[in-house]
Amino acid sequence: MSKENLLKHLRNIPDYPMKGIQFKDVTSWFMNPDDLREIADTMYEMYKDKGITKVCGIESRGFIVGAILAEKLGAGFVPVRKPGKLPYEKVSMEYKKEYGFDRLEMHIDSITKDDVVLIHDDLLATGGTAKASCELVSRFKPKKIMACFIIELTNLKARCSFPEGIEVSSMIEMDEFENL
Ligand code: AMP
């Protein structure tokens, strides 16, 4: 399936959750078996030879393809969660959002120095969430960190500000106003 075909099925919600945001509703892909398989298979092809041992999915839309990808790659799945959701001892990282601050948490034993880690979220927008996740994962000092997204909103130029040494890839690069 081509990018064009996938984009035909992607629902865009203008001004959600606030005015000015063109919200890409990836649930419109996840509910379609052919689209879900296409996304999982394409991501698997991108990472099958990279020696990934852990996939870290960012709450919450990053859990869906993140978990499928982990299973296909023969890797473990680790959730990167919002505050107060994880039951065991945690490491956490506060980061700045457009308005105020937020926090991400991971279990202290979720990554080891021998791991090759793939961080996954559905969409890369300003990059605040993904970069905070990279910093949090880097505290575990794994062998390597990569980050992948289904969609990258290229007009927001988040990719160039990732920490050095982190390989960033996305399946579909698009302008947030494309295809409206
Ligand atoms: P950011 O930290 O700005 O890169 O935002 C990334 C997170 O917010 C991801 O988990 C996305 O699910 C969500 N997000 C941000 N902007 C959008 C958008 N335009 N459409 C859909 N999801 C978005």
- Catalytic pick among 61, 81, 105, 152: 61
For the domain made up of 50-174, give the CATH fold: Rossmann fold (3.40.50)
Q: Is 46 helix (H, G, I), strand (E, B) or coil?
A: helix
Task: Compute the distance between CA of residue 138 and CA of residue 142 in angstroms, rounded to an integer.
Answer: 7
Buried b / exposed e over 136-153, threshold 16 CB at 10 Å, is bbbebebeebbbbbbbbb
Q: Whose CA is nearest to atom 5 of ligand 1?
A: 125
- pLDDT tens figures, 41-91: 999 999 999 999 999 999 999 999 999 999 999 999 999 999 999 999 999
Task: Compute the distance between CA of residue 177 and CA of residue 168 in angstroms, rounded to an integer.
Answer: 22
Would the CB of 21 count as within 6 Å of ligand 1? yes
Flag whether the pTM goes above 0.85. yes
Task: Compute the distance between CA of residue 46 and CA of residue 132 in angstroms, rounded to an integer.
Answer: 23
| Residue 98 falls in the annotated catalytic set | yes
Residue 74 corresponds to which tokens in the numbers above? 């023969």
> Taking 70 as the threshold, does the pLDDT of residue 1 lie above it?
no
- Give 21 Cα–ligand 1 centroid separation in angstroms: 10
Spans of all domains in the chain:
50-174
